[in-house]
Amino acid sequence: MMEKFKIDRKFWPLLVTIGLFLLLYAYGFFSYRGFSNPQVFFNLFIDNAFLLITSIGMTFVILSGGIDLSIGAVIAFTTVLSAYLSEDWGLHPLVVIPMVLLVGTLLGAVMGSIIQFFKVQPFIVTLAGMFFARGMCFVISTDAITISHPFYRTLSLFRIPLFGKTFIPINVVIFLVVLAAAIYLAHFTRFGRTVYAIGGNEQSALLMGLPVARTKVLVYTLNGFCSALAGVVFSVYMLSGYGLYTNGLELDAIASVVIGGTQLTGGVGYVAGTVFGVLIQGLIQTTIMFQGTLNSWWTKIVVGLLTLLFIMMQSAFASARRTRLAAKSIDKSADRLPVGETELVPDA
């Protein structure tokens, strides 16, 4: 009976994250007027929908033991390209959106292929990707382009009313679909399990006959797609495209993944954790906003420290596990049966 209530040790980091989220929310709830409005909660999703989507893609990359520094730039590039194609070329958004999604996905696929086939560190390749995507934004336009197409406006005004006066826009719906797909992908497909296996031990995954090369390329491709989708969501949210958007977003996404309990070394973590990682950052921002006297840059400092805290926690967990294992093997030898029955010396 007790077993049912025992929580697997591997869920601990996730629980810490959720606990932290609840604590922060409770703090805001009881400290500030207006925080209790459910819309404040929904706004967390609305304002961070793009970050949520791209962080989910990043979760897969980090689970596989890699990193992607290009996402902020890819999002900005998607907004600029969307604005350019719909404004300057006059294409219909229904044509533009698939096009930009394809471009983002391709960028991811190219980076993934270089990482895999030229054996270059992901961090360097995606750094180049970041430069490239940012630069391409300015090649298209150095100024912000306003998106005026009615379709985008309709999308951005589209709201699904919930109880009371609360509502969620289309951005959140897209996020929820991505989340569901990501959880399915991570836990119910061979692709997802291979990602975990690669993060756990790439050499072993290879020897176990798993499609390591294909999966690694796909992980970056998927992340490219997620970033482009986040870019579409962001362009709907901002109704414009600009090369300076989402500067440094890759760091927010990495921080979200880490705060969400995913190990930076790969192999351990959950997509759901990342969602809470983003929400915690959103809550910090909201709380600082409600607080009023603190400036927005405190968000950066607090998020930085929080990330550090979680990384420290990860390495503490890891070393605790090592000590426990070592202690175990000593205990085991202590209460071992006398080995008299195992005669190791042969009859000479």
Binding to another protein in span 295-324, by CB under 8 A: 295-301, 303-305, 307-308, 311-312, 315, 321, 323
* Chosen residue from 157, 160, 207, 320 binding another protein by CB under 8 A: 207
Site string for another protein, 115-144 (x = CB under 8 A): ---xxxx-xxx-xxxxxx-xxxxxx--x--
Part in contact with another protein (CB under 8 A); list of ranges 11-19, 20-28, 170-178, 265-273: 265-273
**Radius of gyration for the alpha carbons in the chain, expressed in angstroms and rounded:** 23
Part in contact with another protein (CB under 8 A); list of ranges 18-26, 34-42, 83-91, 191-199: 191-199
Residues 9 to 28 in contact with another protein, rule: CB under 8 A: 9-10
CA proximity to 212, closest of 61, 64, 59, 56: 64
Total binding residues toward another protein, as defined by CB under 8 A: 91
CB of 282 to another protein, least distance (A): 16
Rank residues 144 and 264 by Cβ distance to another protein and give the closer one: 264
Residues 49 to 68 in contact with another protein, rule: CB under 8 A: 67
**80 binding another protein? (CB under 8 A):** no
Rank residues 222 and 236 by Cβ distance to another protein and give the closer one: 222
CB of 213 to another protein, least distance (A): 13
**231 binding another protein? (CB under 8 A):** no
d(CA 153, CA 145): 15
d(CA 214, CA 164): 48
Part in contact with another protein (CB under 8 A); list of ranges 37-45, 100-108, 182-190, 232-240: 182-190
CB of 158 to another protein, least distance (A): 31
Alpha helices per DSSP H over the chain: 2-5, 12-31, 38-63, 71-87, 93-117, 122-140, 150-157, 170-188, 190-200, 202-207, 212-238, 249-259, 271-291, 297-334
**196 binding another protein? (CB under 8 A):** yes
Alpha carbons within 13 angstroms on the beta-carbon side of residue 312 total: 6
312 alpha-carbon distance from chain centroid: 19
CB of 47 to another protein, least distance (A): 19
* Chosen residue from 14, 52, 147, 197 binding another protein by CB under 8 A: 197
Concatenated DSSP letters for 260-307? TT--TTSS---HHHHHHHHHHHHHHHHHHHHH-SS-THHHHHHHHHHH
